[in-house]
Amino acid sequence: MAQDEFPGWHGTTIIGVKKAGEVVIAGDGQVSLGQTVIKGTARKVRRLSPGGFDVVAGFAGSTADAFTLLERLEAKLEATPGQLARASVELAKDWRTDKYLQKLEAMLIVSDGKDLLVITGAGDVLEPEHDVAAIGSGGNFALAAARGMMSSERTAEAVARDAMAIAADICVYTNGNLTIETISA
C-alpha cells in the first residue's frame, strides 16, 4: 500500500515553555485516525533519565517512530552525559543519514531544564526564539498563544496550560487532556 493510500494520521500539540528557570513541556492526549478519535488519553510527553541525567521530551507524529527516536536519544545521552545539545545534534545527523531512520515521521521537543530544543527529521536542531517551541497540528495555535503570554506574570506551567487550552479550542486534532512535565535548570 502506497504512503498516500493510508488514512491521514493527524494530531497532537506539544509545547515547550522556558521561563523563570524552569521548562515545562505539555502535550495533549488525542490520537486521531482520519476524522475518528482513536484515543483521548495518550501520553506524548516523557521523562528520560539516562545515567541519572533528566531530560523531558514531547513528540508529535507516529508513535512507533517517536519511541524509536526517544530510544536513540537516550543512547546518545548515555554516550554524552549532561550534553543535551550534542546528543540532539548526533541524533539529528543519524536521522538524516540513516536509511531506516529517514523514513521516521515524528518531531521532538526536548529539554534538560537549561536548553529547549526542537529536533526534526530534516537534520534540524533548533533552539526557539522567545523561549517557546510548539509542534504538531495545533502547534502554531499554541505557539502564538504562548508568545502572547510570555511577558505576563504567569508561570511557565500556566503559559503552557493556557496555550494548550487555546490550541484545543481551535484544532480538532488536539484535546484538553494534558500530560505536563516540568524540569528546572
Classified as helix, coil or strand, 96 is helix
| Beta carbons of 116 and 128 less than 8 angstroms apart | yes
Cell numbers linked to 85 = 545539545
117 pLDDT higher than 60: yes
Cell numbers linked to 173 = 486534532
Average pLDDT of the residues in 33-47? 91
Confidence grade of residue 11 (pLDDT, cut at 50, 70, 90): confident
Confidence grade of residue 86 (pLDDT, cut at 50, 70, 90): very high
Residue 97 among the catalytic residues = no
Burial class (CB in 10 A: 0-12, 13-18, 19+), 131: middle
Cell numbers linked to 107 = 518531531
Which contacts qualify for 123-130: CB closer than 8 Å, 24 or more apart?
123/92, 123/93, 123/95, 123/96, 124/92, 125/85, 125/88, 125/89, 125/92, 128/16
Sign of CA dihedral 178, 71, 108, 105: negative
The structural domains of the chain, ordered by start, are 3-175 (3.60.20.10)
1 pLDDT higher than 60: no
Classified as helix, coil or strand, 180 is strand
Catalytic residue among 12, 13, 174, 182: 12
Average pLDDT of the residues in 49-62? 88
Strand partners, 107: 60
Of 7, 115, 13, 9, residue with least CA distance to 59: 13
Confidence grade of residue 100 (pLDDT, cut at 50, 70, 90): confident
The DSSP letter of residue 128 is -
157 pLDDT higher than 80: yes
Question: Within the chain, how many helices (H) and strands (E) appear?
Answer: 5, 12
